[in-house]
Structure 1
């Protein structure tokens, strides 16, 4: 495993000291020179660590004065739940606008893309089988809040009106409804969440720094016969959103 960059390690240490209350809100941190001496690193390492915490909303820089602890930035809650949907498929909260909720998206689909090994394994395909790959950038008030890369086997959708997720009569309606229109019932969703660090491309699209913490959710949808019909990698910036899973309880 590659060794974590020194500035990320120092950022974790400084963040822990702030969260432990060593420096209260409004208190100025020690100078970069002093922190560099304390931790045996260069001033550039301290600078990058502080820049990271400023981006996270933990610190703020004041020109000619120093770096201070600021009020923590609110992390908006994202609830992932099928439990909240009514039996007819409409949400109990339909029409209610929540702060930070994605209200628009940009999408680009490319058909006939050979499935990489990892995607082929998730979709139970032979590596290189053709898929439709769609890249999504979800926006809230014009700001990116989530990314997704979706893969669907062309063996399932080729020649149908719903081959391209964002084109045709059901554009933007989602995998479940699109599959239902061609006689496929999706009844299982499996999500595997894991922490990750933002790549350069992800950081650029989300407006965060390379190496920032993100939540990567590997999602796969299955039909009633257990066949995978779509898989996606969803990327959510940790500093902006907390993800909550909600489950219904089976009643006797």
Structure 2
């Protein structure tokens, strides 16, 4: 069996006291030089070990100051099997930002099977915890479905899309989700009080009435803090006779 690389061994020595709470968040770690002397390794080894812990999210590097044990971020579990098939914000509080009409363009036109330039309703909201934005939710629906009725997002801002669309004659009977990660965009960063380019989790959810997509949305949240919770019911096997 090959010997474990020294930087991995050193990272293990530092990781264990961090995970068991012996080194609490905010604790300053020894410098690369002090680690090298204490563990009888080269400074290159200690530097690589510290960078590994930074990559794992356990340690943060503060320029000109050193390495510190990082505060573990709170995890938010977002249910994707809620009874109404809504945005699934869990215990987050919802803040409606705006509802507006815009013209459809790619790739949204493909998701809603519309031609570029057709009008859609865009509703933007955020999920909050302790006055801090955690998620951004944007949903689009073809304006042709409810225009001229009292079932548009403008007329029923506090009513969920399933209830509104069902009342307009488009009952939702199927939901499709696609989950991925990407970099946070400039227009989204300000709404999430974050920096452009950080990695975010994106859930693209589309509601269908029959074969027709009647609403699609993006749920965006920090990949580090947000978890998606799925509960799937399976048919019980029939007992053998």
Match of 1:127 in 2: 116
1:21 aligns with 2:15: no
Q: Is the 8 A contact 1:151 1:231 kept in 2?
A: yes
> In the alignment, which of 160, 168, 180 is matched to residue 182 of structure 1?
168
Cα distance change, pair 75–121 in 1 and its aligned pair in 2 (3 A)? same
> In the alignment, which of 142, 146, 154 is matched to residue 135 of structure 2?
146
Distance 1:216 1:250 in 2: 30
Q: How does 1:144-223 map to 2 (within 5 A)?
A: 144-163=133-152, 165=153, 167-168=154-155, 170-223=156-209
Distance 2:63 2:113 in 1: 56
Match of 2:75 in 1: 75
3-state SS in 2 of match to 1:121? helix
TM normalised by structure 2 equals 0.70
Unaligned runs of 5+ in 2: 1-7, 36-42
Cα distance change, pair 58–124 in 1 and its aligned pair in 2 (3 A)? same
Cα distance change, pair 126–65 in 1 and its aligned pair in 2 (3 A)? closer
Q: How many residues are treated as equivalent by the alignment? A: 204
Computed over aligned residues only, the root mean square deviation of the Cα atoms, in angstroms, reads 3.6
- 1:116-142 deviations in whole A, cap 9, x for unaligned? 121111111111111112222222232
Match of 1:104 in 2: 94
Unaligned runs of 5+ in 1: 1-16, 40-45, 91-97
